[in-house]
Structure 1
Amino acid sequence: MKRFLTMGLSLLLVLSLLSGCGGNQASKTEEDTNTPTKETSKDNTKETSTTPTDTGSTVEQKIVFALHDVPDGLDPIVTNNSFAMPFLDNCFEGLVTSNANNELVPALAESWTVSEDGKTYTFTLRDGLKWSDGSPLTSADFMYSFERTLKPETASQNVNMITNYVLNAQACYEGTVPFDQVGFKAPDEKTLVIELTSPTSFFIDLVSLHVYDPLNKATIEANGDKWTLSADTYVVNGPFKITKLNLNEATVLTKNENYWDAANVTLEEVTFRMIKDQATALIAFDSNEIDGMRSVPMADFARLKAESNDLHIMPTYATSYYLINTQKPPYDNVLVRKALNLAVDRKSLIENVLQSSDLPAHALLGPGYVVNGKDYIEGRSDYGISDTANVEEARKALAEAGYPDGKGFPTLQLSYYTSPQVKLIAEALAQMFKENLNINVEISNSEWAVYYDDVQAMKYEVAAMGAGADFMHPMTFLPSFMSNDYLNNTGYANPVYDAKVNEIKSELDPEKALTLIREAEDIMMADYPFLPMYHRSSSLMMKDYVKGWSLSPLSQLSFKYAKVVK
């Protein structure tokens, strides 16, 4: 699950090589993150080189795209920060990937088979795979990556996507078994075998995550954890490679001629320009200094939606919420957490603060997961959470908790990460808590890195957060509220919930799994361990002459098939 910044919209992942493994778990964000289909620009053809114009001349295949937040790093198996994904999604590729219809298709693996018991996956790699530096890419590069991920010192933010499923991976991570007893094997240069602890119906979805990407051993051993800091040492295997690296200003991606599918990559250059202020980015877009931008200023959204053909709005599989520290009084009282949930007017936040196309959230899982033509959320309980505030029931719950009309309730500490939009949401929440519950609120903020460290250390009471899906399945979200999951920063622990989520992992029948998912969410929401706010949509600006790009419900921005057509 990608942790994301609940503003302007949002999916994880490591360092040294020893013979064994050891340890504990690590960290996570989002930028813009409901349906299982991937949205693309109108023209998704696959052509190469320059594109002729009506006059017979050629169009330079270069674009400049503005990003607004600096990623916490570019190591594909370490970071789960959504700000890094535009780089990773265009520079790295794993065994499988998703196409324009959000279907999983072969990538580095040309094919795979599954054993009859559903526990062993055998992948066959394509012939002639290469890294961006021209060196061969083999199954050994996957094995190196997996071993590196399972070292606690690597601090992979999505290591649980391996430890929860691959045979003996958790034990290796904890240091009780060596890596050679983990369910990863490479019998030859083109074959990779992965053995699971139990059958997992969505395992191919997991394999599409960057935590399953291969890594170039030579560059990491030569440069250590600094391998991601220079274009010369950042060896990749995707459709683009980085030729100029300056995350604070501009990073230039150029076509990777050693990519296995380079013949279908048209763009020669993509420049990610860092423009933190979205209003400034919009001015640059309107003056044709840039060809696209990742987020839209809240103040301009309604106008652009009405007037601009360059605004693209896509549904995403993501939820914005506020964490509640369930171990700190008075928030250890479920009635207090219920009161906070019922006191929020989510419809007003969306319409008056966000001014967006988002949907009020009554629980963690949003629309987008479909089984036999039916979306998961159809017929689900709202858990007493209405689109608008249920003030009477909220006050009743607070009184039952021992705080009638808010009397005696300590000042609520509401934390958020530095962002103009999130600030507005926090201020609106504080006003709702005061007006509806007579609770005083003190608001504080800090930059993301400091903020998330505090969240992980549970140095907060109520804190802004959100989750963007890594893959199109509820299991991208549900484990993060399990008692011992490294992403559980609420202190919430319910063994009944844990057992139910573990049942889901191995249930191969989609209908039965759906029932278990509903039961798990019912258990969790009865405890109100967080404040669901809204299910996200994602918006960006792109000039009409840029065709073939795609932004998936998982907020994967791909320029592999993009081209400039003028």
Structure 2
Amino acid sequence: MKKSKFYLFTVLTLALALVLSACGTGDKKESASKGSSSAEQVLNMIEPTEIPTGDPTLATDTASFIVIGQTMEGLYTLNDKDLPVPAIADGKPEVSKDGTVYTFKLRKDAKWANGEPVTANDFVFSWRRAVDPNTGAQYAYMFADVVKNASAIMEGKAKPEDLGVKAIDDNTLEVTLEQPVPYLDSLLAFGTFVPLNEKFVKEKGDKFGTNSDNMLANGPFKLAKWDGTGLTWKYEKNDKYYDKDAVKLKEINVQVSKTPNTAVNLYNTGKVDRTGALSAEYAKQYANNKDAVKMVESSSWYLKFNQLRNGKETPLANVNIRKGLAMAFDKKAYTETVLSNGSFPSNGLVPKGVAKDPSGEKDFRDESGDLSTYDPKQAKEYWEKGLKELGVKSLELELLSDDTENAKKTSEFFQDQLQKNLPGLKLKLTNVPFKIRLQKQDQQDYDIQMAGWGADYLDAMTYLDLFVTNGGNNKAGYSNKKYDQLINDAKVKYANDPEKRWEVLLEAEKILIQDDAAIAPIYQRGHLTLTQPYVKNFEEHLFGPDYTMKNTYIEK
């Protein structure tokens, strides 16, 4: 989600083993040219959570970006190898010698589902809307230090019209960057960068993206039968899509199931063709099943400590309290007993497989090392030191998470671990629906939250710039001037110095995790799903939308 992303991944969000996250598939991929089967091209599947929004500008979570991934396309999209390839862009852009001005030609056959052409102005409108402070887009930060003047606009020092994006004509888009961006193509495949039909958005006003009648697609599918809050919806083939002949599925029916046994029962009785990620109980049971598909994702999960609630500092503003909490739970026990789905312990924020050093040989996670490990003895020392500094002998804190079965089991595990290893701690559990949890996060109305983030693009920055001061996805009151400077240096000062940029990103993660314990890393997620063998080309991704179904088909 996360996701982050994912995706996402965010995205990012908690549904634990139930929220699908990004990772490329293996043996389930086959050539789309085989999709000429006479079988009915209807797919029935499970999702673990509701859709919070259908507005690409306001989307922040895995579930929303999955919808955007099926219904919208930007300049680039992802192929089945997770490589960004031209979509609305008609081939590769012209790039200035200094690497800061990109000129894109757009496909002349790209249309919206209402028949209107997709134009360069649709990108200009969408991007200006994203960085406009009045919109309140949390993902606006992805434009910062990338597209020219984005940061100044977000800070109220320039107007949205000053953004470095221009429609030269209906089919020519010029993008000016602050400095060269090595991961620009993968960034432009992300959902926040899709175009929007200005006339449609303005006509809908505040209703835009609130249900399927108030959404307009330009991708392979259209969203239908979504009332804005319900637990069912469907995707219908978009006959106005420029590459409609490649789209084999006529219809995709989706229903939300928050209980693992319901999802498995629906699968076993033939009512759905694909489950969401299975809980530990079922992951163990179906590990060797012929329909099982296992994935390791780019999704990093951690405890997020809120230092500022209702305008006042929380006890989590104390670094020793945070360090005590971060070292007081057994990650291996958690991944093996609660998840049991291929997830494994992680001692940093940036997961394995997402970022390589300039030589392409060393993985970021391996280079950065173990920054936060399970050590109950050390945890107790930090905790007691923190209590003394706060002048108290005990603390009551809240752990916020979702209301799924897996989320509740996870909350109970951490309650047991933290209360057992940290004398004087009482951990209250708050389990709420996914959409409510996102609202509480945005309002910073929590103490501790189980959070996850999947790659939005292939670079360590997609994780590390989450926690800059007042960042759109910070939402925890964390602030460190040195950390902010390192992130800025990686974006600006060392944009053309890959070796130095690598060094400062490694240093930034150490400050975030080892020095400040702003978050407490837990695990890198894997998942196991059940998918019928006749479902072909269901493409899961390492970043961006968790999956796309443009090339999916049924072959019986």
Residue identity opposite 1:98 in structure 2:
L
**TM-score, normalising length from structure 1?**
0.89
Q: Specify which of 512, 525, 530 is matched with residue 541 of structure 1.
A: 530
**Distance in 1 between the 2:176 and 2:160 partners?**
13
Of 408, 431, 437, which residue of structure 1 is paired with 2:416? 431
**Cα displacement (A) at 1:495:** 0.7
Cα gap change, 1:547 to 1:178, in 2 (>3 Å):
same
Structure 1 residue 229 displacement after superposition: 4.3
Aligned amino acid, residue 430 of structure 1: Q
The separation in 1 between residues aligned to 2:523 and 2:317, in whole angstroms, is: 24
Deviation (angstroms), 1:228: 3.0
Q: Helix, strand or coil for the counterpart of 1:499?
A: helix
Task: Find the partner of 1:415 among 384, 393, 400.
Answer: 400
| Letter matched to residue 417 of structure 1 | D
Instruction: Output the amino acid matched with 1:424.
Output: K
> Aligned residue for 2:110?
129
5+ residue gaps, structure 1, are 14-26, 52-57
1:59 is paired with a residue whose SS is: coil
Amino acid in structure 2 at the alignment position of 1:524: L
The 5-angstrom pairing of residues 231-310 of structure 1 reads: 231-246=212-227, 248-306=230-288, 308-310=289-291
- The answer on whether the counterparts of 1:40 and 1:549 sit within 8 Å (CA) in structure 2 is no
User: Shift of residue 455 of structure 1?
Assistant: 2.8
Partner AA of 1:419 in structure 2? T
SS at match of 2:93: strand
The 5 Å alignment of 1:131-280 reads: 131-229=112-210, 231-246=212-227, 248-280=230-262
1:502 to 485, 488, 492: 488
- Residue equivalent to 2:339: 354
Cα 1:418–1:98, aligned 2, differ >3 Å: closer, same or farther?
same
Tell me the CA shift for residue 362 of structure 1: 0.9
Verify the 8 A CA contact 1:317 1:469 in the aligned structure 2.
Answer: yes
Structure 1 contact 4–466 (Cα < 8 Å) conserved: yes
SS for the counterpart of 1:331 is: helix
> In 2, Cα distance between the equivalents of 1:175 and 1:301?
49
Residues 300-354 of structure 1: per-residue CA shift (max 9 Å, x gap): 1101112x12221211111111111235353222222112111111001111122
Q: Structure 1 residue 478: deviation in Å?
A: 0.8
The equivalent residue for 1:18 is none
Secondary structure of the residue aligned to 1:453 is helix
CA distance in 2, matches of 1:423, 1:536: 17
Judge conservation of contact 1:96–1:106 (CA < 8 Å) in 2: yes
| SS of equivalent residue, structure 1 residue 152 | coil
Counterpart contact for 1:323–1:529, Cα < 8 Å: yes
**Contact 2:72/2:217 (8 A) holds in 1:** yes
SS at structure 2 position matched to 1:77: coil
The CA distance in 2 between the partners of 1:150 and 1:434, in whole Å, is: 43
Q: Distance in 2 between matches of 1:153 and 1:447?
A: 27
Does residue 1:373 correspond to 2:361, yes or no?
yes
Percent identity, please: 26
CA shift for structure 1 position 47 = 2.9
Distance between the aligned counterparts of 2:425 and 2:14, measured in 1?
Answer: 28
Aligned to 1:477: 463
Contact 1:47 1:265 in 2 (8 A): no
| Distance in 1 (alpha carbons) for counterparts of 2:385 and 2:29 | 58
- SS class of match (1:64): strand
Superposition CA RMSD, Å: 2.6
Question: How many angstroms apart in 2 are the aligned matches of 1:429 and 1:233?
Answer: 41
What is the CA-CA distance between 1:137 and the residue it aligns to? 1.0
Q: Name 1:462's counterpart in structure 2.
A: 448
Query: Which of 345, 348, 356 does residue 363 from structure 1 map onto?
Result: 348
CA contact (8 A) 2:283 2:528 kept: no
Q: Does 1:343 align with 2:328?
A: yes
Code of the residue aligned with 1:242 in structure 2: it is L
The code of the aligned residue for 1:273 comes to Q
Q: Which residue number in structure 2 is paired with residue 105 of structure 1?
A: 85
> Following the alignment from structure 1 to structure 2, what is the Cα–Cα distance between the partners of residues 173 and 204?
23
8 A Cα contact 1:339 1:398, kept in partner: yes
Q: Quote how far apart the aligned CAs of 1:484 are.
A: 2.3
Q: Which letter does structure 1 place at the counterpart of 2:283?
A: F
Figure out how many residues of one structure are paired with residues of the other and give that number: 538
TM-score normalized by structure 2?
Answer: 0.90
Q: Could you list the per-position Cα deviations for residues 146-186 of structure 1 after superposition, in whole angstroms to 9, with x for gaps in the alignment?
A: 22223334332311112342111232234432333221111
Alpha-carbon displacement from aligned partner over 1:380-432 (angstroms, at most 9, x marks no partner):
2312x33xx3122222223433559x981322332323222122222211221
Q: 1:131 to 1:457 in 2, by over 3 A?
A: closer
What letter matches 2:138 in structure 1?
Q
Distance change in 2, residues 1:339/1:236 (3 Å) = same
Measured after TM superposition, the shift of residue 487 of structure 1 is: 1.4
Shift in Å, 1:240: 1.1
Q: Displacement of 1:444 after TM fit?
A: 2.8
Separation in 1, partners of 2:166, 2:376: 57
In structure 1, the partner of 2:375 is 390
Aligned equivalent of 2:425: 440
Residue 532, structure 1, aligned to residue 514, structure 2: no
Superposed CA deviations along residues 516-542 of structure 1, whole A, max 9, x for unmatched, are 211111122211011111111133221
Distance 1:460 1:275, change over 3 A: closer
Q: Is the partner of 1:314 in helix, strand or coil?
A: strand
Contact 1:12–1:78 (8 Å) recurs in 2: no
Report the Cα distance in structure 2 between the residues aligned to 1:537 and 1:403, rounded to whole angstroms: 39
Aligned equivalent of 2:507: 519
> Does the CA-based 8 Å contact 1:50-1:60 persist in structure 2?
no
Structure 2 counterpart of 1:476, which letter?
T
Residue range with higher mean Cα deviation, 497-506 or 143-152: 143-152
* Pairwise CA distance, 1:5: 12
The counterpart of 1:66, out of the listed 46, 52, 68, is 46
1:95 lines up with 2:75 in the alignment:
yes
Contact 1:32–1:537 (CA<8 Å) still a contact in 2? no
Which residue of the partner structure matches residue 546 of structure 2? Answer: 556
* d(CA) in 1 for partners of 2:27, 2:282: 22
The residue that corresponds to 1:565 in the other structure is 555
SS at match of 1:533: strand
Distance apart, 1:511 and its partner CA = 3.5
1:2 counterpart = 2:2: yes
2:398 and 2:427 in contact (8 A); partners too: yes
